[in-house]
Amino acid sequence: MVPIEHYFILALIMFTCGTLGVLFRRNLLFMLMSIELMLNAVNLVFVTASSFLGDLDGQIMVFFVITLAACEAGIGLAMVIAIYRRYGTINPDFLKVLRG
Amino acid sequence: MNWLEMTLCFPLLGAILNGLILRSESKTLAQIVSVTACFLAFFSALFLSYDVLTHHEGLKVYHLASWIEAGSLSVPFSFLIDPLSSLMLLIITGIGSLIHIYAGGYMSHEKTTYRFFAYLNLFVFMMLLLVTGENFLIMFIGWEGVGLCSYLLISYWFEEDKNAKAGMKAFLVNRIGDIGFLFAVFLTFKQFGTLSFLDLKNILLNSHTLTQEMQNSIALICLLMLVAACGKSAQLPLYVWLPDAMAGPTPVSALIHAATMVTAGVYMMTRLSFFYFLAPQIMTVVAVLGCLTAFFAATIALVQNDIKKVLAYSTVSQLGYMVMGCGVGGFGAGVFHLLTHACFKALLFLGAGSVIFAMHHKQDMMEMGGLKKYLPKTHAVFLLGVLAIIGVPGFSGFFSKDEILWKAFNYPVIGPYLWAFGTLTAGCTAFYMLRLYTLTFCGENRSDHHTKKHIEETPVIMWGPLAVLAFLSVFIGFVGVPAVIGDLVGIPNFFEHYLEPVIKMPHAAEENWHFLRDHHSHALEWTLMGTSTSFVLLGALLGFNFYKRGPKGISLILKKKFSRTHKFLTNKYYVDEFYENIFVTPLQEMSQFLWKIFDLIFINGFINGVGRGLMISSALSSWKNSGGLQTYAVFFVLGCLVFLGFFLK
Amino acid sequence: MFQLIHQYILSLLIFSPLVFCGLSLALKDLKAIRVLAVLGSFVTFLFSCHLWYYFDESLTGIQFVQHYQWISSFGISYFVGVDGINLLLVMLTTFLTPLVLISLFEKKEESTKNLIRLLLSLECGMLGALLALDLVFFYVFWEAMLIPMYFMIGLWGGKNRIYATTKFIIYTVFGSLFMLVAALLLYLQHYEQFGVYSSSLLDLYRVNFQNINTELLLFSAFALAFAIKVPIWPFHTWLPHAHTEAPTVGSVILAGVLLKMGTYGFVRFAIPLFPNAVELAAPFILGLGVFGIIYGALVAWVQPDAKKMIAYSSVSHLGYVVIGCLSFQNSSLNEEALLGAQYLMINHGISTGALFFLIGVIYERRHTRLFSEFGGLAKNMPWFAVMLIVATLGSVGLPGTGGFVGEFLVLLGSFQAKPIIAIVAALGVLLGALYMLTFCKSILFGPITKEENRSLKDLSFVEFLYITPLSLLVVFMGVCPEFFLKKMRTSVHHLSKTYHHYELLVPDQPFVSAVNKIEKRG
């Protein structure tokens, strides 16, 4: 049996990749995909913990997260398209409307 | 409705009717309304006085309604009728009625006069409140009310800036006095817990010894009331408004600024005589102040060229006499002079008004002269007025002025000096009155051709009241013939006896005022009377001779010789300029400073500075708000890491 | 029906302007809205007359109480009631609002519709704040008043309106936030002492502070909020701007009622909630009040603009109210002074309201308020002159006008308590006459210097309609002060004597006693 740490390390790697992707990719689409990756890393932790503890709550949570991820992707993609239409770019470096 | 309510009601009704309801363009209607109101008030006052003096032992208090009730303070609308207030009632409504009639003639060239008559009636109402009020506050309503009417009437011809300013000045200077009045009220209330004159009188008359604290407060109250009297009765140093007040129509000057309102201070001091007797030190101040004012104003009057200004300064001077009379303990003498002065000064002012009316509103005596033959009737009554005011024996002014001087002479320590100044003032009075008379009525007419052609005697509506006043000016003095003469010719002194119940000496004060009871030799009194009379005759003679050739001759030589003194006097000792430069201008500059520098720059700058400081600090701290999504995210993640590191340590 | 009205009179009073405001939203026509609004405010005035008539002046407690739980777990309730202290201010509010609405009758602009709606909602806010006896409920209305005022100045104001309105709102809210924090602390203090949550004033009055410093701190926070509202010198700089920029109706309401909220706050909240702290801080506030009297008067004297002058004169007049409210003497408040202060509040509302209306009248005709543009108006506008002089005299405090009664009582009382305060304050009486007469003179008297002024029309019918009641009231308040004083006396006496352990009693069955009273009368 694969020890629990391996799952966690894998989840950690996925989450780090996702975080770095969100932080440093210069493309909103890739950033969305990175967020997806982070969510999946969390899902992995949930499933692992659920299976090891024999508690189904974690798996239920995964379904929630998946649903949420779907919603997020839907809204996010829609916004990306809207942003592209409005500004002609999806590079976040050029989108600084919130400057104080 | 009782007589008192009617007396008060008619003038108020007249004012409301004329000023707010009818506002009629018709001069006749306006005048009829107001004269009727005044006459009705006069008759009601007559019945009221008769009723009270015969049926109620000379004293009756009317409670009409409650006014202010707060905490321990209770001030009702209550009125006191006694010999003093009924005398004042009759002076006000009687002389007031005559002046109302006269005003109809004098104002006949005005477009609309309803405003004038409304103010005049309102004034009468306020003055009645002043003299009948049974407590300080009712008196104060009248006190400020007459100030208001005076303000409105002085600036009646408001289209001229000068008049509006004069009105304002009158109101403001009076307000200084009113503050004194207010504080006297506060102090009285603090010390005695009541504001009713009768209650106070009862408390003070019956107390045999007073604590030191009580005496101090009484002295302070008297001093504060003296400030009030200085404002209203135009004494030093607050007399400056009265000469300027001559900007108003002449009937106003006669009614308000000679006969009635300005005597309110004297009335008030007499009303509070039981206070003043208890403060002998303040009485000395009163006497000296009155004496100085009398002399000071008389010297200014010597050189004025405006006929009304001369009379104005003469009023200040005569008021000084009255105040001096009160100050030396002769309240009766003060009120007696008030009575005679009301008659002859009203006469003089109205006479001057007739002259001005005939001269088409020219007031400079240098442009008059020789009016004797144009205005014979006016001339006759005016001459009687002059003789009355300078105190030619037998005329009313003689009796009252002599009474004051005699009382002053008996005053301990400074008495003789007071008398000396008073006598000197009498001489000056004779001089400037004769100067006025001579310059106006004698010699050649000096006005331009056009004016000269149109001079004609005034209508009966104007000289009629003058005749009545002339009669009074000559004979009213006989109600108060001094004992020394009275014993000789067999006329008792009605007046002194009449006022006796009002002017009562508190027991505690008696030792200070024993000299009032002392008997003095008749020879001394005759000598003094003779001296002052000769001063008067001398002054009159000089005045007549200097000016009988108009402003040329001896007077011109004197003017050149004493040019510096003359200039000093013509400019009224530069008192107005002094006040202007010491009080008004610095205050104005300070206000400008407070507004422009302190308020706008300092306080407002500080407040706005706080706002601006916040804006700057937020601008400075907004550098991190680059708007870059990923920069934010980096900070967010770093923050999370720090927290995690902190908790997982 | 009558019983229902009687029982819910206060709620009817507070919310009927709001209901009429809502109704007016359904109307499109300006004329219809105007009529509806005047009708609505008049109905409100009638309700307040009902209050006046059935108010039992012999009771010290609060009357017409309505008390419903609002957020019961926090002890917050809808709690309204009337006593002698707020009754007259309520009357003033309901009296001024119809007049203000009538004054809009000659406006033709379409935007007036919204101005009318704002005024109605403002009336609701003011009445709510005046009648509230629950701290949270009070705070809600206290802030709610600001919103209509903000828009009124910001949208209908003069040239510099944005600056003025922003300053007004930020300044006032700045103070109120302190009050909010202090209110929360007070609320928690009450919980600590009694173990229940309650924001009812009646409960909060019972809070005792062990530590005087805490009390002082909380008091200062409340006092700051109220001092800005009054405004006490040196927190006054928002007022001249707000007044100058506000439209006439805004100025009237601002000077007439809103400023009184500050002094009312002192009397209702600051003094009975923090009695010890007030006693400690009183000399300081009195000093500011007296300084404000002189300062306001002097600065008013040199203003070139009529509205600014009246704004500074308000600083001066409210100084009297402040010293009247805080004249402590032998561990009680001086009753005459307190009563005088209450009276002066009403009188200031009336006479200053009249002055602002009158300035509005000439502003309508000439579109300027600079003194240098006027002079000699009495010739062509005699009625205007009469009204202006009456209002001026009311403001100067001539005996026979309401101003005298108030000022006299305040000065008399503070002279008993602290003579020096009264002596300095009395200088304001002189300076008051100085600037008011200068004002009168430069508008009414003197030669006509500007050609435009020769053809000015006198007051129109509508202008008469809204100015005359105020002028009459100025005189009436001076001649028959008893009519008003008797309603306040018991409550003021109660407060002045027992503010250390102040209790407002709620009669058990207020309605029964009222019904008995009605039966007795009828």
pLDDT for B361:
83
Which pLDDT tens digit goes with each residue over A9-25?
A: 999 999 999 999 999 88
Which residues on chain C are in Cβ contact (under 8 Å) with B140?
399
* CB proximity B140 to C under 8 Å: yes
- B574 pLDDT above the threshold of 90: no
Residue B449: burial class (beta carbons within 10 Å; 0-12, 13-18, 19+): exposed
pLDDT for C508:
56
Distance CA B88, CA B138 (A): 16
C519 band by pLDDT with thresholds 50, 70 and 90 = low
Contact between B611 and C170 using a beta-carbon 8 Å cutoff: yes
Which pLDDT tens digit goes with each residue over B108-167?
A: 888 878 999 999 999 999 999 999 999 999 999 999 999 999 999 999 988 888 999 999
**What is the token pair recorded at C235?**
């927190």
Percent of chain B with pLDDT strictly greater than 90: 51
pLDDT for C513:
46
Which pLDDT tens digit goes with each residue over B284-298?
A: 999 999 999 999 999
Give the per-residue SS3 of B427-463: HHHHHHHHHHHHHHHCCCCCCCHHHHHHCCCCCHHHH
DSSP 8-state assignment for residue C499 = G
Distance CA C376, CA B96 (A): 30
Contact between C295 and B594 using a beta-carbon 8 Å cutoff: yes
Which residues on chain A are in Cβ contact (under 8 Å) with B629?
92, 95, 98
Q: Which of C196, C333, C189, C308 is nearest to C243 (CA)?
A: C308
Mean pLDDT, chain B, rounded, equals 89
Give the relative orientation of helices C275-301 and C306-325 as an angle to the nearest 10 degrees.
Answer: 150
Note the pTM of the prediction, 2 decimals.
Answer: 0.89
Contact between B158 and C445 using a beta-carbon 8 Å cutoff: yes
Which residues on chain A are in Cβ contact (under 8 Å) with B648?
none
Cβ density class C315-331: b for 16+ within 10 Å, e for less? bbbbbbbbbbbbbbeee
- C497 pLDDT above the threshold of 50: yes
**What is the token pair recorded at B371?**
């009016």
Percent of chain B with pLDDT strictly greater than 70: 100
Which residues on chain B are in Cβ contact (under 8 Å) with C433?
171-172, 175
pLDDT for C186:
93
* CB proximity A96 to B under 8 Å: yes
ipTM, interface predicted TM-score of the complex = 0.92
Residue in B70, B115, B182 closest to C340 by CB: B70
Q: Is residue C306 within 8 Å of residue C371, measured between CB atoms?
A: yes
Which pLDDT tens digit goes with each residue over C99-149?
A: 999 999 988 888 899 999 999 999 999 999 999 999 999 999 999 999 999
Which pLDDT tens digit goes with each residue over B302-343?
A: 888 899 999 999 999 999 999 999 999 889 999 999 999 999
Contact between B599 and C493 using a beta-carbon 8 Å cutoff: no
Contact between A95 and B629 using a beta-carbon 8 Å cutoff: yes
Mean pLDDT calculated for residue range C480-497 = 92
Among A42-56, B311-325, B397-411, B615-629, which stretch is predicted with the lowest mean pLDDT?
B615-629
pLDDT for B125:
95
Distance from CA of B68 to the nearest CA of C (A): 6
Among A96-100, B326-330, B416-420, B492-496, which stretch is predicted with the lowest mean pLDDT?
A96-100
Which pLDDT tens digit goes with each residue over B349-384?
A: 999 999 998 888 888 888 888 888 888 889 999 999
B90 band by pLDDT with thresholds 50, 70 and 90 = very high
pLDDT for C392:
94
Residue in A23, A97, A98 closest to B634 by CB: A23
- B258 pLDDT above the threshold of 70: yes
* CB proximity A85 to B under 8 Å: no
Q: Which of B566, B164, B103 is nearest to B357 (CA)?
A: B103
Which residues on chain C are in Cβ contact (under 8 Å) with B70?
335-336, 339-340, 409, 485, 489
Which pLDDT tens digit goes with each residue over B154-181?
A: 999 888 889 999 999 999 999 999 999 9
Neighbours of chain B (3+ CB pairs under 8 A): A, C
**CA-based nearest residue in chain C for residue B139:** C399
Best of A17, A22, A23 to substitute, by most chain B Cβ atoms within 10 angstroms, is A23
Which residues on chain B are in Cβ contact (under 8 Å) with A79?
none
Residue in B627, B633, B634 closest to A99 by CB: B627
**CA-based nearest residue in chain A for residue B631:** A23
Distance CA B152, CA B175 (A): 15
Hey, where are the domains in chain C?
2-521
Residue ranges of domains in chain A, CATH in brackets = 4-89 (1.10.287.3510)
Residues 6+ apart with CB under 8 A from B16: B118
- B222 pLDDT above the threshold of 60: yes
Residue in B69, B145, B189 closest to C400 by CB: B145
Best of B154, B595, B603, B612 to substitute, by most chain C Cβ atoms within 10 angstroms, is B595
Contact between B625 and A100 using a beta-carbon 8 Å cutoff: yes
* CB proximity B629 to A under 8 Å: yes
**CA-based nearest residue in chain A for residue B630:** A23
> How many cross-chain Cβ pairs, B to C, lie less than 8 Å apart?
140
Tell me the CA distances in angstroms from C325 to B552, C232, C338, C377, one per residue in order. Answer: 68, 13, 5, 39
Mean pLDDT calculated for residue range B28-52 = 92
* CB proximity A83 to B under 8 Å: no
Reduce the DSSP state of residue C134 to 3 states and report it: strand
Best of C343, C434, C484, C492 to substitute, by most chain B Cβ atoms within 10 angstroms, is C434
Distance CA B392, CA B539 (A): 11
Contact between A99 and B625 using a beta-carbon 8 Å cutoff: yes
pLDDT for B200:
92
Contact between B630 and A23 using a beta-carbon 8 Å cutoff: yes
Which pLDDT tens digit goes with each residue over C416-451?
A: 999 999 999 999 999 999 999 999 999 999 888 888
Mean pLDDT calculated for residue range C484-505 = 90
Distance from CA of B604 to the nearest CA of A (A): 28
Name residue, tokens 């005005």. Answer: B110
pLDDT for A100:
57
Residue in A19, A92, A100 closest to B629 by CB: A92
Q: Which of C42, C59, C43, C51 is nearest to C10 (CA)?
A: C51
Which residues on chain B are in Cβ contact (under 8 Å) with A93?
628, 630
pLDDT for B549:
77
- C453 pLDDT above the threshold of 90: no
Q: Which long-range contacts (CB under 8 A, 24 or more apart) does B43-48 make?
A: B44/B3, B44/B4, B44/B6, B44/B7, B44/B10, B45/B3, B45/B7, B45/B86, B45/B89, B45/B90, B45/B93, B46/B90, B47/B3, B48/B2, B48/B3, B48/B4, B48/B6, B48/B7, B48/B81, B48/B86, B48/B89
